[in-house]
Amino acid sequence: MEATDIYGYLRSHAAEEVLGLAKIAQAALVDQKTTFDGRQDAIRYLALNASALLEDLWAEDDSLWLRAPASQIEFEDMLAKRQTSLRKGKASLPVFEEKDFTCYAEDEIRTFAFDIRKLLLTRRARHLAICPRCQRRLEYWTGLVERFDQATPLTEGKADA
């Protein structure tokens, strides 16, 4: 879509819609530094980032793009943010029930090793996140199942029993 097409298309939309679309494009481009002072800035941003002319220039000669400075992407420190919210008492802590602290039986661990989806169906998957013992047991059984699958001879894509 050409820049003139974008201008014409966006004229029929409300300013809030245009700003919302520009913010979506900004997020998709991981552009954290750009700010929009209004409708015209948002339209200009969309036009520049959707121009077929820019794509054509890149396809013909990429030397301009190679000389351009690298994009700097900055991510928030989510751990620090979570710690701050916990200290201020604004974070909601997960609510654990008694069953979340109960270890899985050996039969359950073996079942999960063959089909991990069954773990999610137990409604006790939280336990695995907090119990290193059950994690090690599941890892052991999963390894056994994988080695067995690798060692099993296949005939026509199926195990030859």
What does the pLDDT look like over 76-108, one tens digit per residue?
Answer: 888 888 888 877 877 676 778 888 888 999 999
> Which range marks the domain in which residue 14 is found?
3-67
- Whether residue 158 lies inside any domain: the answer is no
- Whether residue 117 lies inside any domain: the answer is yes
- Whether residue 39 lies inside any domain: the answer is yes
Residues 12 and 53 in one domain: yes
Give the per-residue pLDDT at 64: 62
End position of a domain, from candidates 12, 46, 67: 67
The confidence band for 5, taking pLDDT boundaries of 50, 70 and 90, is low
3 pLDDT exceeds 60?
Answer: no
Please state the domain count of the chain: 2
Residues 63 and 7 in one domain: yes
Residues 129 and 59: their CA atoms lie apart, in Å, by: 48
Give the per-residue pLDDT at 136: 94
Compare 42 and 111 and report the one with higher pLDDT. 111
- Whether residue 10 lies inside any domain: the answer is yes
Residues 57 and 109 in one domain: no
160 pLDDT exceeds 70?
Answer: no
4 pLDDT exceeds 60?
Answer: no
Residues 99 and 4: their CA atoms lie apart, in Å, by: 61
Residues 8 and 53 in one domain: yes
- Whether residue 113 lies inside any domain: the answer is yes
Statement: the pTM of the whole predicted model exceeds 0.85: no
Residues 7 and 55 in one domain: yes
Residues 12 and 62 in one domain: yes
- Whether residue 80 lies inside any domain: the answer is no
Amino acid in the structure at residue 89: G
Q: What is the pLDDT of residues 11-66, one digit of tens each?
A: 777 888 888 888 888 887 777 778 888 888 888 888 777 766 666 666 677 676 67
Give the per-residue pLDDT at 22: 84
- Distance set, CA 148 to CA 113, 141, 151 (Å): 12, 11, 5
- Whether residue 35 lies inside any domain: the answer is yes
Report residue 38 CA to chain centroid gap.
30
Give the per-residue pLDDT at 103: 92
Would you call 42 exposed, middle or buried from its count of C-beta atoms within 10 A (0-12, 13-18, 19+)? Answer: buried
Burial 99-138 (b: 16+ CB within 10 A, else e): ebeeebeeebbbbbbeeeeebeeeebeebbeebeebeebb
- Whether residue 130 lies inside any domain: the answer is yes
